[in-house]
Amino acid sequence: MSFLQHLEELRWRLVKSAIAIVTCAIVLFVYQEWIMDNIFLIMLDNNFISFKLLCHWFDVCTPPTPVEMQSMNVSGQFSYALWMSILGGIVVASPFIFYQLWAFIRPALKGTERSAMGGLVFYVSLLFLLGILFGYFVVTPMTIQFFGNYKISTQIQNIFTVDSYMGMILSTIFYTGLFFLLPIASYLLARLGIITADFLRKYRKHALVGVLILAAIITPPDLISQVIVSIPIALLYEIGILTAARVEKKRNKENINN
């Protein structure tokens, strides 16, 4: 294919992805009130499933979050309904988007490279969606609960704007989904020879400290919450090490055979 043909191919892949995102976004926009009440605002209730499980299994029970919501801008509610729908459309359509990206890159790969990256779309989609779920059920509720109940003075009431509330929730969930792609990033960087398993092992302690600091920032100041958030992130780092080691082992085997 010529350069212009590659551009045409990329254009149609992007158009298909955009159509999928817009279609999902329209469906979500139609059900915006139900989504807002039952998916986002429900995090203020101590009957939210994450809080109930935390109370049942770890005896860490939380009160309802005493927060009032308001919109300070004329277009505030509409803007975030639109933003929520678009970002939700990206999440729902993410497996299709990842497939379109893979379908564009795949023809440029050699046969061995295609087989080595077989199932990449499945693993990327799986890890991204797991990250979204982890961000929604673990990270975000704890953050909302902490800041909603925190008061520097009893004379000051927490009144969140829809902008700050939804902005924090959507960004936290989305970035957590991206963070769960760490093993995929380790795999690709190892394939390119940029990182090695020994490099990741060498800086394991530094990474662990970073994970603990991150967990302390995004969770309430209690040990159980920090451990709950830290363990999956630390496991992802270890999976990244194993992934890099597997890539190196396979590369060495190919070099010996050649």
- Tens-place pLDDT, residues 90-128: 999 999 998 998 888 877 766 666 666 667 788 888 989
State whether residue 134 is helix, strand or coil: helix
Q: Give the pLDDT of residue 225.
A: 62
Could you give the CA distance from residue 72 to residue 80 in angstroms, rounded to a whole number?
12
Q: Give the pLDDT of residue 219.
A: 59
Give CA separation, 114 vs 93, 105, 106, in Å: 24, 10, 7
HSE value, Cβ hemisphere, 13 Å, CA-based, for 205: 1
Residue-by-residue DSSP string for 10-41: HHHHHHHHHHHHHHHHHHHHHTHHHHIIIIIG
Q: Give the pLDDT of residue 174.
A: 85
| Burial class (CB within 10 angstroms; exposed 0-12, middle 13-18, buried 19+) of 24 | buried
Q: Give the pLDDT of residue 15.
A: 93
258 residues of the chain, pLDDT tens digit each: 666 777 888 888 999 999 999 999 999 999 999 999 899 888 888 888 888 888 888 777 777 777 788 888 888 788 888 988 998 999 999 999 989 988 888 777 666 666 666 677 888 889 899 989 988 998 888 888 878 877 888 888 888 888 888 888 888 888 888 888 888 888 888 877 788 888 888 888 888 887 777 766 655 555 666 677 777 878 888 888 888 888 888 777 766 766
- Tens-place pLDDT, residues 171-184: 888 888 888 888 88
Q: Give the pLDDT of residue 222.
A: 58
What is the rounded end-to-end Cα distance, in angstroms, of the chain? 30
pTM of the model: 0.79
- Which runs of consecutive H residues, i.e. helices, occur in the chain? 3-30, 32-35, 49-58, 76-92, 94-105, 111-116, 120-134, 140-149, 162-179, 182-191, 197-202, 204-218, 223-257
Could you give the CA distance from residue 208 to residue 200 in angstroms, rounded to a whole number?
11
Instruction: Tell which residue, 236, 229, 135, 132, has the closest CA to residue 184.
Output: 236
Could you give the CA distance from residue 45 to residue 37 in angstroms, rounded to a whole number?
11
Q: Give the pLDDT of residue 114.
A: 67
Q: Give the pLDDT of residue 21.
A: 95
